Structure 1
Amino acid sequence: MALAARLDRFFDQQGIAYKERSIDRASSLDAAVAALGHAREDVIKATLLIDISGIVMVVHRYDSALDDDALRQITGRHLQPLTGHQTMRLFSDCDPGFTPPIGNAYDLPVLLDESITRAEQVLFTSGTDHSLIEMDGRSLRLAMAGSREGHLAIRGPDNGGVQEALTLAEVASKLKKLYRLPPMPALALRILRLTSNTEATARELSELIEFDPSLTAQVMRYARSALFHYPGQINSVQEAVTRVLGFDRVAHIALGIASVRAFDVPRTGILGMDNFWRHSLYCAFLCQRIAPRCGADKGLAYLCGLLHNFGLLLVGHLFPAEFKELNRLRETNPEASMQSLEQQAFGQGSEQEIIAVGHGAIGGILHRLWELPDPVVKAAGVHQQPGYQGEHENYVMMVQLANALLKDRGIGDEFNPDDVPELLQRLELKPAVLDELMMDVDKVAPELDALASSLSI
């Protein structure tokens, strides 16, 4: 059975005829509809709204948007979109993001756009991510018995009947228009500018870091850690640069520490700052180890690993309430993809439209705004996309491989399986390298954990 349980029971009890249409598993309803071709013109969907008087389901064509003025006029109510958490409590038998537009099956009052009452055939989600329901007009009217009808939605421009996803440029524009994106902290910006100067010296970098006592202490702690086994005393940042860490490594860790100060995110929780730093440091360490085997720049690979998850910090900074819910969902749904949980946590409001691209793409947008190196922008922006091929793909795949290996240690924000053999093949690495990398991690894990704890304070 490919239908949600309550939907299947309702159709059976009411004797309503329908056909199931199997589809490839889809990451979202948008993805499922996009694969339909011409048939997508028949798709209808549900939008769930709430106010103090309760919840209402509005059923309208997929390629339409609700007319807020018409809704207020018909209902006399000021309705707001449900959150993802509220939606999943009502539709617990459904996959996240696949809400069937049959309110009667869930004891919900329904408002029905009048254009649907004339439809000869419709398609809609079955409540699962791998099938759709096909139904004729007569059966649909039986399923919608008792619904209130009206002119509730406005059809979009003619685009073949499909609701197109926002482009990254549009997401970037909306983010900048709707929210105050944090600028790169002044110290981080100065470090970034210094590193772009090929003639910059260790003394100049040290003096810049030493302007900030907290950053100085953190860099010194990093240099003195057992990661580097330096036998002597380290008494200054310049000694840390010249004797232990080198210019690039100090610059990169200092840039990461200073940049994180742009965000106000809780320390605790699986997505909190403590685990963010742990994930980032482990990923950066592995990327740095992988890079020489792929002919890539070690310093740049380290920076890609260190900064690849900044989009998650930006999500937490801009949307604290939804981020708290996302944290809860992540802890209780380890098998789910992060992108599906983000869609669930952000409901159906304007934030959901933006977050639909995933926190990775949002991080890439921020890094582009901050004018970070292109491989860093790309690694952040598409690390959630398996099979990515394109500009700077080696750096993206190094981050993906590092994250895949870390999942076995319970480190990171994704725990669903990866295609590690494909990543190894595309990076031209032999399978034996995996054991070597994890042995490297075992040797430094205590030091990385201690460093992560110190950086999150």
Structure 2
Amino acid sequence: MPVPASVQTRLDDQNVLYHIATTPVDDNNNRIWHDQHLRNVGAARSVLLQDENGKVQIIIGADRLLDLHAVNRLLNRQLFATNADELARFCRNHNVQTVPALPKIAGMLTLVDEDLLEREALLLDSGSEEQLLQLSREEFRQVLEDARLCDISVALAPLENDPSVQQDTDLILGAVENFTRLRIKQRLEETLELPPLSETAQRIIKLRVNPNADVSDLAQIVETDPSLAAQVVSWAASPYYSAPGKIRSIHDAIVRVLGFDMVLNLALGLALGRSLQIPRQGPHSALPYWQQAVYVAATIEGLVTAIPRDQRPAFGMAYLCGLLHNFGYLILAEVFPPHFNQYCHLADANSHITHQAIERHLLGVTREQIASTLMSLWSMPEEVVVALRQQNNPDYQGEHHRYAKLVFVAQRLLLQQGIGHGPKLDIPQHVFDELHLDPQKAVAAVKNILESETDLEFIALQLSPH
């Protein structure tokens, strides 16, 4: 759609001189994702916050993180991000696709970040995903009217820099020390005060490295854990797998439906996931923990199938990486409860930013760093350790890089389809090339997965604690 009529009218009424900047296309002639384009050019964007006293409009650069605490301190209010339903209603009422970055677009109190006035020229979200507004600094000042200028953001670029893996332990322990104000203990799992691995998880890890392990060994472990056994049988019997006949035992589920490798990794993922409490609250539009785990794992299942057979990574291992990819989310909620609540509010107010940048801002460390370090201490497979740590690094080239890239692609494809919380960003072509994965087949795979949405949600429900 072109620049919305309401925006054009407002600019014309103020005699503001502006130009139109059309959103560019990629090599395949597809328009670049709006979130990606705003971030690339550092365009101004709008955020709507609210409390019982009403809504407030915030305008910041897409290359900045909104400091929600600074806004609330300035206004002496307890504002939080407007939810997706209300945003959609706003866009419908004003015939826009996004909230335009023009002050008082709906008569609301508007705060404008001072950083924007440091720029010679500005690009603004026009309310259309196809075009941006281009204004000089002087013209932008003209539209500010009685908007309040204030310092309410943090530069995003430093927060997007991923430190080396060698620094992870120091950063994690530093974050824990800052949070607890207690003496740092020697071992990470003691410092984090996490429960030890369950006996079931320990037995499955030992089974993984036993070259002589067979179906009977695995079935015996699963059967000794009634809850786990019920979940495996429920998974195998779900409509998603369309198994012929009734699943009568764990042995039946392994041999006839899921296979040894799948059940081994599924059981391990479930055993680890049950070791921590599942947070009841999360950012707007964020999927519940198990639902996200199932969606990513199932998407990876489809992606691996789309890779030529002679280039495929190990299917079961890839699936396990998907199932555990967000394990660090549970750790954040368990170990840093006040910071987790702050993270949720910040994530809602900064939907244009990845969770890593927000976590570095709050804690100095990300969930991926914490989870991969803990997985290493728990002697989990190196493929999982690498996949969890490097899942957001499309340029990683070390050993097991394909598992990390599969998680990266799966998450971005799901976000592009509106599944999950976070910006819609592109997937570099070289990632597809390194996976020997055709982009069109990848998109088709994720759309096939989403056609089974009801079945996947049923599986996730069976995995969730009741």
Q: TM-score range by the shorter chain?
A: 0.5 to 0.7
Q: Within 5 Å, which residues of 2 pair with 1:7-406?
A: 85-87=68-70, 89-90=72-73, 129=155, 167-171=167-171, 176=188, 178-270=191-283, 275-292=288-305, 293=307, 294-344=311-361, 346=362, 352=363, 356-406=364-414
Aligned pair in 2 of structure 1 residues 450, 434: CA closer, same or farther (>3 Å)? same
Aligned pair in 2 of structure 1 residues 418, 223: CA closer, same or farther (>3 Å)? same
Aligned pair in 2 of structure 1 residues 388, 320: CA closer, same or farther (>3 Å)? same
Aligned pair in 2 of structure 1 residues 339, 87: CA closer, same or farther (>3 Å)? farther
Unaligned 5+ runs, structure 2: 1-66, 75-110, 116-150, 177-187
Deviation at 1:252, TM superposition (A): 1.2
Supply the AA of the counterpart residue of 2:312.
Answer: G
8 Å contact kept, 1:273–1:456? no
Identity %: 31
Match of 1:440 in 2: 448
- Counterparts of 1:221 and 1:374, CA distance in 2: 29
8 Å contact kept, 1:382–1:396? yes
8 Å contact kept, 1:210–1:237? yes
1:358-384 CA-to-partner distances (Å, cap 9, x unmatched) read 111111111111111111101101212
Query: Normalized against structure 1, the TM-score is what?
Result: 0.61
- Counterparts of 1:246 and 1:329, CA distance in 2: 42
Match of 2:78 in 1: none
Unaligned 5+ runs, structure 1: 1-83, 97-124, 133-162, 347-351
Deviation at 1:228, TM superposition (A): 1.3
Supply the AA of the counterpart residue of 2:242.
Answer: H
Match of 2:429 in 1: 421
- Counterparts of 1:272 and 1:325, CA distance in 2: 16
- Counterparts of 2:219 and 2:156, CA distance in 1: 56
8 Å contact kept, 2:383–2:400? yes
For the residue of structure 2 that corresponds to 1:167, the secondary structure is helix
Deviation at 1:286, TM superposition (A): 1.9
Deviation at 1:131, TM superposition (A): 10
- Counterparts of 1:272 and 1:184, CA distance in 2: 31
8 Å contact kept, 1:336–1:416? no
1:60-89 CA-to-partner distances (Å, cap 9, x unmatched) read xxxxxxxxxxxxxxxxxxxxxxxx753453
For the residue of structure 2 that corresponds to 1:197, the secondary structure is coil
Query: Normalized against structure 2, the TM-score is what?
Result: 0.60
Deviation at 1:423, TM superposition (A): 2.1
Deviation at 1:274, TM superposition (A): 6.2
Match of 1:455 in 2: 463
The range that moved more, 205-214 or 406-415, is 406-415
8 Å contact kept, 2:287–2:420? no
- Counterparts of 2:346 and 2:156, CA distance in 1: 22
Q: Give the count of matched residue pairs.
A: 307
8 Å contact kept, 1:269–1:327? yes
Aligned pair in 2 of structure 1 residues 406, 182: CA closer, same or farther (>3 Å)? same
8 Å contact kept, 2:359–2:365? no
1:408 has 2:416 as partner: yes
8 Å contact kept, 2:172–2:365? no
Match of 2:58 in 1: none
1:83-136 CA-to-partner distances (Å, cap 9, x unmatched) read x7534534775599xxxxxxxxxxxxxxxxxxxxxxxxxxxx99653899xxxx
- Counterparts of 1:171 and 1:415, CA distance in 2: 26
8 Å contact kept, 2:297–2:319? yes
Aligned pair in 2 of structure 1 residues 310, 214: CA closer, same or farther (>3 Å)? same
Deviation at 1:433, TM superposition (A): 1.1
Supply the AA of the counterpart residue of 2:464.
Answer: S
8 Å contact kept, 2:304–2:312? yes
Supply the AA of the counterpart residue of 1:167.
Answer: Q
Aligned pair in 2 of structure 1 residues 411, 127: CA closer, same or farther (>3 Å)? closer
Q: Which is greater in Rg? A: 1
Supply the AA of the counterpart residue of 1:209.
Answer: V
Aligned pair in 2 of structure 1 residues 178, 373: CA closer, same or farther (>3 Å)? closer
